Each structure stands twice: as C-alpha cells, then as structure tokens.
C-alpha cells in the first residue's frame, strides 16, 4: 500500500491533455514547434525562450525521424530553456517537412511532433531510449496518428513512457 | 582481427542520441563477439577525439566531416528503426575489418 502510494506520487505523466493538439494544422515545422511551445509555456513547463531556441536548434541538429509507419520529430531545446519536464504532442492533419536527423540534405514528412521539455540532460537520455522503443513498437505510431482525442494520446504515451 | 575495437559516437550534444546509439553498438558488438570500447563526443569535437581516442569506426547521429579517413556510419537507424539490420551488419563488418 505504501509502495503503491509512493509510486503514484512520483510518477507524473509526461503528456497531459492540455499539451496535446489533435488534429493540428501547421504550415511548417517552425509553426508546429511554435504551437506546441505555446502550450508548454502556458502550462508553465518552459520559458518564453524555448520556442525560438528549439527552432534555431532544429536548423543545426534536425530531429525528423523517418520511422516506418508515420514520420516523427522530437524538437527540443537545451535544458536552460526548460522549467519542468513534459512532452507536448501534435498530430498533424497534413504532414510538414522536418529536417532529417543526421542527414542535412534530406527532409522527412512528419505527422507526429513530440516537443520535449526536459530539465535535466541525463533525463533526456532515458526519455529518448523509451521514445525510441515506443516508435519501434509495431502499430504504435499508426495508433497515435489515428487518435481522435487528447485523452487517447495521453494514454498511449503514459503506457510507453515510464520514468520515475 | 585481434584486440579491442574503438568506436566513437558523435551527436549534437554528446549526451542523448549518442548514449542511445552507444548502448546499441555495445549490444551488437557483444552479440558478434567483438570486444569494443565506446566513447561519445559532440560532432564539433570529432577531429580532436580522433587524435586522442584513435577510433576504428565512427557512428554519428548528426553530420560530421567526410574526410576523416575512418569509416563513418549514420546512426539514426538505431533511433528510427528503419534500416537498422543493414546498419548493424555494416558496422560489424567494419569492426571485423579494422
């Protein structure tokens, strides 16, 4: 009983319904980042510098991943722009092009944008490992892309992202 | 082939994606029975680390210079899952040849 209580206290969900935009309409990667950044800022998770820092970082270190089912991007900024950990998720009606990670000459059509607010860099490693596992689980990305409500998205992420 | 193979993993910050890729590289080398030593660095530090670490192979998740004289592999398939098996095979082959 005590252990369960403790777990419930320490496990805060990474994604909240107010951080999910579904369906999202964006005209560019920067637009998508700005919309998700606004949600993160309103929720008190990031500083007002986060959106610009993330858009800038994307130019040098692109985060589009050409995953098998649906393209995903994981835009983020350095820890100094973050107040509290969270992920804002946007599911685009029509894909926008993100630069491909590791390949500056190429872009990826992205439908799922996961804007990461991570306050400690060692936490980013664990989060990234769990996200990668999640992206590589068959069917999960299609499930996210097909979700109709923020609650569905929250549930999927909560199932896969489990960091104390 | 004898002795330990050194693999340098480069990413934007030397922390996040490099750590994920480093774990995968250690895993596949172990499966193939190849002893490896792995180091991580930022893309901008690659040349300096070549001088000090003398890697046999570089795996990068962000662009690095092409004229390094060492086999360089794009490590993003370890993150996306697309082309991962082919990449594993290529890295193992390069480690065996090194």
| Cβ contacts of B20 on chain A, cutoff 8 Å | 125, 128-129, 132
pLDDT tens, residue by residue, A67-90: 888 999 999 999 999 999 999 999
Give the mean pLDDT of chain B. Answer: 92
Are A87 and A74 in contact, with CB atoms under 8 Å apart? no
pLDDT tens, residue by residue, A134-145: 999 999 999 999
Query: From CA A17, how far away is CA B52, in angstroms rounded?
Result: 48
Q: Do B61 and A132 touch (CB under 8 A)?
A: no
Q: Which ipTM value was assigned to this complex?
A: 0.76
- The CA dihedral of B86, B91, B97, B98, to the nearest 10 degrees, is 160
Token pair for A129: 């490992």
Q: Which CATH class is domain B5-97?
A: alpha beta
Residues 33-92 of A with CB under 8 A from B: 57, 60-61, 65-68, 78
Give the mean pLDDT of chain A. Answer: 91
**What's residue A81's pLDDT?**
97
Are A147 and A121 in contact, with CB atoms under 8 Å apart? no
**Which of B62, B76, B81 is facing A136, going by the closest CB pair?**
B81
pLDDT level of residue A13 (50, 70, 90 thresholds) = confident
Domains parsed from chain A with CATH numbers: 13-160 (3.40.930.10)
> In this complex, is the C-beta atom of A101 within 8 Å of any C-beta atom belonging to chain B?
yes
């Amino acid at each position: 009983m005590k252990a369960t209580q403790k777990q419930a206290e320490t496990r805060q969900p990474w994604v909240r319904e107010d951080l999910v935009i579904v369906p999202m309409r964006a005209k560019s990667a920067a637009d998508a980042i700005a919309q998700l950044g606004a949600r993160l800022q309103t929720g008190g998770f990031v500083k007002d510098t986060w959106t610009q820092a993330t858009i800038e970082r994307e130019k040098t270190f692109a985060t589009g991943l050409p995953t098998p089912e649906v393209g995903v991007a994981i835009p983020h900024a350095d820890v100094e722009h973050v107040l509290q950990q969270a992920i804002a998720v946007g599911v685009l009606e029509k894909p926008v092009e993100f630069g491909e990670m590791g390949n500056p000459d190429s872009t990826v059509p992205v439908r799922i944008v996961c804007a990461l607010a991570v306050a400690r860099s060692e936490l980013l490693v664990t989060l990234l490992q769990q996200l990668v596992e999640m992206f590589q689980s068959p069917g999960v990305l299609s499930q996210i892309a097909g979700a109709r409500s923020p609650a569905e998205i929250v549930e999927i992420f909560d199932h896969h992202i489990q960091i104390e | 082939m004898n002795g330990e193979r050194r693999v340098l993993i480069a990413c934007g910050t030397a922390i996040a994606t490099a750590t994920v890729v480093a774990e995968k590289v250690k895993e596949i080398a172990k499966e193939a029975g190849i002893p490896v030593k792995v180091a991580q660095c930022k893309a901008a530090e690659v040349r300096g680390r070549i001088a000090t670490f003398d890697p046999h192979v570089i795996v990068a998740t962000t662009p690095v210079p092409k004229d390094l004289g060492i086999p360089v592999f794009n490590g993003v398939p370890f993150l996306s899952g697309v082309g991962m098996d082919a990449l594993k095979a290529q890295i193992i082959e390069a480690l065996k040849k090194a």
